[in-house]
Amino acid sequence: MKNLIGVVIYIVTVLPIAQVYSQSSLGQESWVSLFNGKNLNGWDMKIAGFELDDNYNNTFVVEDGLLRVKYDEYDSFNNEFGHLFHRTPYSYYRLKVEYRFIGKQVAGGPGWAYRNNGMMLHAQSAQSMGIDQDFPISIEAQLLGGTKPKERSTSNLCTPGTHVNIDGELVTEHCINSSSKTYYGDQWVIAEFVILGDSIIHHIMGQDTVLTYTNPIVGGGEANNTKEGVKVDGSILSEGYITIQAESHPTDFRQIEILDLKGCMDPDAQNYKSHT
């Protein structure tokens, strides 16, 4: 299995990632939607300062077939950072999300959170979050919108309670920018991520791989008020939960799809898929 994973890593490192994963002739791709377009079945929510599944001020809602992060019922934002956790953990997978930023940031939201959301990958479970914990221990695939004339990349990396390696070196900075272009206004944007356990992770925008890093581990700050014993620095992050953020700017999602790759890279496995 390790040798096969190594071959996959070699291929996706040498060839353009989007090219490798878009070759439909290599096999049928079994994408599954994590959002049913009707309700939040299959998801848990945790908002800082509130108990598990307390949807404070209806932050997470489903309307018109969209999963929405909303602040209509907030007078102001007071660090009520929220996260919506899909209940199934994943390790090897591709994730595709379609999102847009709309409206105005709620009063009191931090400046850095303007047109800011994110998909947390390999996150700790919602149940293991502290009552006042702001961000889950995870890898954040940061989603950002620009405001003309300033440029602002999306599909960046942030690391709440984690570290990664880039080009073979440990990176301890909290956020690393991708090479993506800026997406302005309220347009719909598609972002894709390729996650291969604790080995390699790619961020993809369109046909471009805009960021690559490896070997995620637990460590560092930016995940505050964790429960005792949950954050064990140096632990390898090989799997976890997929989480949508709520950081004070309204955001819509209309596509959240996953292609589970666990085990399917082994030709001897029953669920082997040649497209991987």
**Is beta strand 175-176 parallel, antiparallel or unpaired with respect to 156-158?**
antiparallel
Fold for the domain defined by 2-260: Jelly Rolls (2.60.120)
Report the run of H or E that residue 18 belongs to, with start and end.
Answer: helix 17-21
pLDDT at residue 271, rounded to an integer? 55
52 vs 132: CA distance, rounded Å: 11
Amino acid 52 reads L
pLDDT of residue 270: 57
pLDDT of res. 29: 81
Instruction: Give the pairing type, strands 251-260 and 60-63.
Output: unpaired
pLDDT at 272: 58
- Sequence-distant (≥ 6) Cβ neighbours of residue 153 within 8 angstroms: 144, 177, 178, 179, 180, 181, 182, 210
Tens of pLDDT, residue by residue, the chain (276 residues)? 444 344 344 344 434 544 444 443 345 689 999 999 999 999 999 999 999 999 999 999 999 999 999 999 999 999 999 999 999 999 999 999 999 999 999 999 999 999 999 999 999 999 999 999 999 999 999 999 998 899 999 999 999 999 999 999 999 999 999 999 999 999 999 999 999 999 999 999 999 999 999 999 999 989 999 999 999 999 999 999 999 999 999 999 999 999 999 976 555 555 555 544
Beta bridge partners of 208: 205
What's residue 13's pLDDT?
Answer: 45
**pLDDT of 1:** 40
Contacts of 167 (CB under 8 A, 6+ apart): none
